[in-house]
């Protein structure tokens, strides 16, 4: 791989948590998705007003990249003024980089993210997030704790993260952020170097892509 691509890591967008080292939230086996009752109202996700933001960084050396991924479609179920279920589809073909100004470099980076050793978009053009549970839990400016099944490539794992959710009239807004271990979803780029001892890692030219990545979700849905 070209050296300019060594510090790329991608995805997939919830807003408030990560640091650049061992802080990933442990994922678990996928769980049963939440189901809404018959009285629940359906709110359709506004694809234009929603997205994912991704951020990745190197270990040992410095450097990071960030960008966005679009949300293709989705819906949320609201019952008693609370979000109780829902899901959305992630459009992996919409991956963008937002920190680079060199368009040629930007194109190479995005092409690498779409390639087989990252998200393999040709084979897996969409991802998905499906709510398992939503719990009211105030913490560090957030209002809820959300658990859900995140699908990237051909792997589905459950993640839990803090979020801020507001139901106001015919509109639902939700934001949240999680730091995940990309290896758990089969995003294995640079995984051999990750297994090196720290002294050996420092000798790797241009650094090593961290196994952790941050994803931030911003959703807007209307009834």
Q: Which of 175, 218, 217, 174 is nearest to 77 (CA)?
A: 174
The pLDDT of residue 190 is 57
**How confident is the model over 34-46, as pLDDT tens digits?**
999 999 999 999 9
Beta strands 51-59 and 208-222, pairing class: antiparallel
Q: Which residues pair with 174 in a beta bridge?
A: 165, 219
- Residue 14, pLDDT above cutoff 50: no
86-105 in b/e form (b: 16+ CB < 10 A) is bbbbbbbebbbbeebeeeee
Q: Which residues contact 213 (CB under 8 A, 6 or more apart)?
A: 9, 10, 11, 12, 54, 55, 56, 179, 180, 182
The pLDDT of residue 140 is 87
Binned at pLDDT 50, 70 and 90, residue 2 comes out as very low
Q: Which residues contact 190 (CB under 8 A, 6 or more apart)?
A: 6, 208, 209
The pLDDT of residue 177 is 95
**How confident is the model over 200-220, as pLDDT tens digits?**
545 454 556 678 899 999 999
**What structural domains and CATH numbers belong to the chain?**
3-222 (2.40.128.110)
Percent of the chain with pLDDT over 70: 78
Where do the H-state alpha helices sit in the chain? 103-114, 191-194, 198-201
- Residue 72, pLDDT above cutoff 70: yes
**How confident is the model over 145-198, as pLDDT tens digits?**
999 999 999 899 999 999 999 999 999 999 999 999 988 998 876 555 455 455
The pLDDT of residue 16 is 29
- Residue 20, pLDDT above cutoff 50: no
The pLDDT of residue 206 is 57
**What contacts 24+ positions apart, CB below 8 Å, involve 92-96?**
92/119, 92/121, 92/124, 92/125, 92/126, 92/127, 93/121, 93/125, 94/68, 94/69, 94/70, 95/10, 95/11, 95/67, 95/68, 95/69, 95/119, 95/121, 96/67, 96/68, 96/69
* Whole-angstrom distance, CA of residue 189 vs CA of residue 133: 31
* Whole-angstrom distance, CA of residue 90 vs CA of residue 95: 10
Model pTM score: 0.82
Q: What is the mean pLDDT of the chain?
A: 84
**How confident is the model over 78-108, as pLDDT tens digits?**
999 999 999 999 999 999 999 999 999 999 9
């Amino acid at each position: 791989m070209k050296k300019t691509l060594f510090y790329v890591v991608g995805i997939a967008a919830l807003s408030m948590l990560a640091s650049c080292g061992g802080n990933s939230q442990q994922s678990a086996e996928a769980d049963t998705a939440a189901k809404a009752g018959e009285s629940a109202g359906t709110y359709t996700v506004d694809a234009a007003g929603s997205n994912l933001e991704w951020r990745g960084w190197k270990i040992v050396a410095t450097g990071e990249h960030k960008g966005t991924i679009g949300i293709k479609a989705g819906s949320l179920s609201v019952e008693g003024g609370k979000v109780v279920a829902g899901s959305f589809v992630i459009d992996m073909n919409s991956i963008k980089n937002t920190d680079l100004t060199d368009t040629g470099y930007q194109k190479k980076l995005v092409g690498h993210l779409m390639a087989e050793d990252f998200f393999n978009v040709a084979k897996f053009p969409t991802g998905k997030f499906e709510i398992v549970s939503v719990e009211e839990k105030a913490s560090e400016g957030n209002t809820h704790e959300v658990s859900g099944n995140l699908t990237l490539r051909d792997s589905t794992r459950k993640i839990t993260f803090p979020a801020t959710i507001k139901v106001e009239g015919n509109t639902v807004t939700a934001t949240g952020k999680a730091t995940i271990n990309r290896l758990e979803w089969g995003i294995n780029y640079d995984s051999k170097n990750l297994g090196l001892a720290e002294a050996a890692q420092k000798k790797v030219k241009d650094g090593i892509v961290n196994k952790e990545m941050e994803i931030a979700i911003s959703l807007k849905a209307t009834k």
